Amino acid sequence: MKKMSIFRTVVAFVLALGLQSAFAHTALTGSVPPKDSTVSSPSVMMLSFGGEVRLVRLSLTGSNGEVDIGFTPVATASTSFHVPMPFLQAGAYVVNWTAIGDDGHSVSNEFGFTVDPNAPAAVMDHSNMSHGDAHSHDESHSHDH
């Protein structure tokens, strides 16, 4: 009985390590505009990931609903993605994204930013995307293949 308990513990530990490394390569490591920032209307949205992923969903929502950013899912894997942005009115916005790693593992998350015409231009900031942010409970992990 004791051997079975140890076996289960070891299996659970190995699975947890495997899942952690799977999540790491799909983690968002930086963005423009940065998470929780206040910026003037950005001319481009940039997302950087911890490894090569396919960005399959990217949406932007403001107080008046979804903003048409003309995103088309990408078939080619990359570590960074740039999407031209329309002029954004002052207000709060939420970016929702879904990326798929090379193993088929899907990760979805969101982050917000605020547009203020008097704020500085948006620049890439990796410091606000900690490892903890990449694996927060807000993320949805899927194993669809």
Q: What tokens does 5 get? A: 């308990």
Mean pLDDT, the chain, rounded, equals: 79
34-51 average pLDDT score: 96
pLDDT of residue 83: 97
Of 9-18, 88-97, 120-129, the least confident: 9-18
CB atoms within 10 A of CB 9: 10
CATH number attached to the domain at 2-142: 2.60.40.1220
Asked if residues 106 and 98 have their Cβ atoms less than 8 Å apart, the reply is yes
